[in-house]
Amino acid sequence: MFEATVRANILKEFAGVISTLTDEAKFIVNPKGVTVNAVDPAHVAMVDLTLNAKAFEKYSASDMEMGVDIEKLGEVLRLAKGDDKISLKFDEEKNKLIVQVENITRRMSLVDTAGMSEPKIPNLNLPVKVVAKTAELERGIRASEAVSDHVALIASPEGFELMSEGEMDSVSLKLPKKLLVELDCKERAKSL
């Protein structure tokens, strides 16, 4: 059982992060919220993302899994404005996710989760923790795509930088500490 109402901008951010890695994802639903653990097809990048029940305006769920086509979900979300309310409901009888935006209702067939891999989340002891707003990171990644197919992530006690260098051009997104949600960094660190 799953039934929820959420503001469009919250669900758009959630789906947007997932869509950068994969077209389909297993939504693990329980009374605490919705979690997605997914990897890109090359198994290079991973997302471990949770949308807590508190983020929803209404939320009622039991333990279950749903295979969601992220592209189809994105099509529906594009119809919504930022503050629109989106209703989500799992139709157990027809195995569909019902998504309602204002007066538009879409009944989406779910994807079989049996073939979806369950990535193991590595237990890493990392020297830096950076928490940034999704919209900022998405902007930096979109800008980087035109320059190169990889980015460098650089953290320092003063802030965070996402940098991409190609043969001719470079792009850099700089977020000073005051624009970050959280920054725990004792010394400069860089990761490709």
Q: Which of 107, 99, 97 is nearest to 67 (CA)?
A: 97
- For the stretch 88-140, pLDDT in tens is 999 999 999 999 999 999 999 999 998 887 788 778 888 999 999 888 888 89
Q: Which of 142, 5, 138 is nearest to 83 (CA)?
A: 5
The four Cα atoms 167, 17, 124, 151 give a dihedral, to 10 degrees, of 10
- As a whole number, mean pLDDT of residues 17-37 equals 95
pLDDT at 162: 95
Secondary-structure class of domain 2-112 per CATH? alpha beta
Domain spans of the chain? 2-112, 128-191
pLDDT band (50, 70, 90) for residue 49: very high
And the tokens for 188?
A: 């400069």
pLDDT band (50, 70, 90) for residue 11: very high
Q: What's the chain's average pLDDT?
A: 93
Q: Please write down the long-range contacts of 58-61, taking CB distance under 8 Å and 24 or more positions apart.
A: 58/3, 58/4, 58/5, 59/3, 59/4, 59/5, 59/33, 60/1, 60/2, 60/3, 60/4, 61/1, 61/2, 61/3, 61/4, 61/29, 61/30, 61/31, 61/34
- For the stretch 136-185, pLDDT in tens is 888 899 899 989 988 999 999 999 999 999 999 999 999 999 999 999 99
Q: Is the pTM of this model over 0.95?
A: no
- As a whole number, mean pLDDT of residues 73-99 equals 94
